Amino acid sequence: MGNSIIKVEDLSASYRKNTVLEDISFEVEPGSLTAIVGPNGAGKSTLMKTMLDLHPLLTGNVTYFGLPFQKAKKRIGYVPQRGSVDWDFPTDALDVVTMGLYGKIGWLKRPSKKHRELAFEALKKMGMEDYANRQISQLSGGQQQRVFLARALVQQADLYFMDEPLAGVDAATERAIMATLKELNEIGKTVLVVHHDLQTVMDYFDHVLFLNRTIISHGKTNEIFTKENIAQTYGGNMRLIGGEFQHVVSTSE
């Protein structure tokens, strides 16, 4: 793969003194929509954070568009887990989305009317226009997740990292988020998603990365999303219902 958009070589990372990620090397094709799956404690979020320089890299090297992270970071959008911020912060949904533009606005300047319109458009895309002026603590979990996604959209990045965007959201939010991901994918953006629901991997993602402290398998979903790989990734915490992987449930959660 000469045209890969992300290149990870021999990455490892630790939490406290325990190594949680080892010997991670993979490349991501531009325009792909990849699910990162694995059991709890497999290091899915840590992998994402390490790749984004939010967690120390023990060994290895990560490049984006052939550049180190610091030079590429303005082209990368990150949607953290919803619980990573305090939703009691005194601000409203539109304001949170506008924050995605702060890097472009520059020092000593206020967000202009145009910035607010861009933010409002992004909210509208997520079906949240009626909640623009709602205090963020008054939003449901799914609505908060949509605000986060809208904020990532206004950044107009080329590459998106999303940590469990579908965790604990309602069906409407899941549909809205997946429609947006598909749309991003169609206009050539690359998206990596930490995902917990094995049943939807086949429907939602064209690539999958099985992770359990190291990479078990990585490739096209229709080629490698097999019972064997799932069993190997999830180890004993698994049961197969009816022998079909569409009915695979992870019992570790």
Partner 1 sequence: MTYTAWIIVTAALVGLSCGLVGVFLILRKTAMMADAISHTVLLGIVIAFLVTREVSGSAMLVGGILAGLVTAFLVQWLHSLRVQHDASMGIVFTTLFAIGVILISTSVGNAHLDVQHALMGEITFIPFHTITLPVIGQIPQATALLMIVFLVVLFFIIAFYKEWKITSFDPTLAASLGIPVMVMHYLFMSLVSVTTVASFDSVGAIMVVAMLITPAASAYLWTDKLAVMLVLSGFFGVISAVAGFYVAAWIDTSISGSMAFATGIVFLVSFIGSPKHGLLSKYIRPGVHGRIVWRVKR
Note the residues at the interface with partner 1 (CB under 8 A).
16, 52, 54, 73-74, 76-78, 80, 84-86, 88-92, 95-96, 99-100, 102-103, 105, 107-108, 110-111, 135, 137-138, 151, 155
Which lies closer to partner 1 via its Cβ, residue 107 or residue 171?
A: 107
**How many alpha carbons fall within 13 Å on the CB side of residue 33?**
19
How far apart are CB 216 and partner 1 at their closest, in Å?
28
How far apart are CB 231 and partner 1 at their closest, in Å?
35
Which lies closer to partner 1 via its Cβ, residue 2 or residue 90?
A: 90
How big is the CA angle at 218 (ends 217 and 223), to the nearest 5 degrees? 95
How far apart are CB 109 and partner 1 at their closest, in Å?
8
Which lies closer to partner 1 via its Cβ, residue 16 or residue 113?
A: 16
Q: Which residues pair with 207 in a beta bridge?
A: 34, 220
Q: Give DSSP secondary structure letters for the chain.
A: -TT-SEEEEEEEEEETTEEEEEEEEEEE-TT-EEEEE--TTSSHHHHHHHHTTSS---EEEEEETTEEHHHHGGGEEEE--GGGS-TTSS-BHHHHHHHTTHHHH-TT----HHHHHHHHHHHHHTT-GGGTTSBGGGS-HHHHHHHHHHHHHHTT-SEEEEESTTTT--HHHHHHHHHHHHHHHHTT-EEEEE---GGGHHHH-SEEEEESSSEEEEEEHHHH--HHHHHHHHTTSEEESTT-GGGEEETT-
Which lies closer to partner 1 via its Cβ, residue 55 or residue 207?
A: 55
How far apart are CB 165 and partner 1 at their closest, in Å?
15
Which lies closer to partner 1 via its Cβ, residue 87 or residue 232?
A: 87
Which lies closer to partner 1 via its Cβ, residue 57 or residue 249?
A: 57
Tracing tokens 């890299």 back to the chain, one arrives at 57
How far apart are CB 88 and partner 1 at their closest, in Å?
6
What is the rounded CA–CA span in Å between residue 40 and residue 236? 13
How far apart are CB 105 and partner 1 at their closest, in Å?
7
How far apart are CB 238 and partner 1 at their closest, in Å?
33
Which lies closer to partner 1 via its Cβ, residue 27 or residue 87?
A: 87
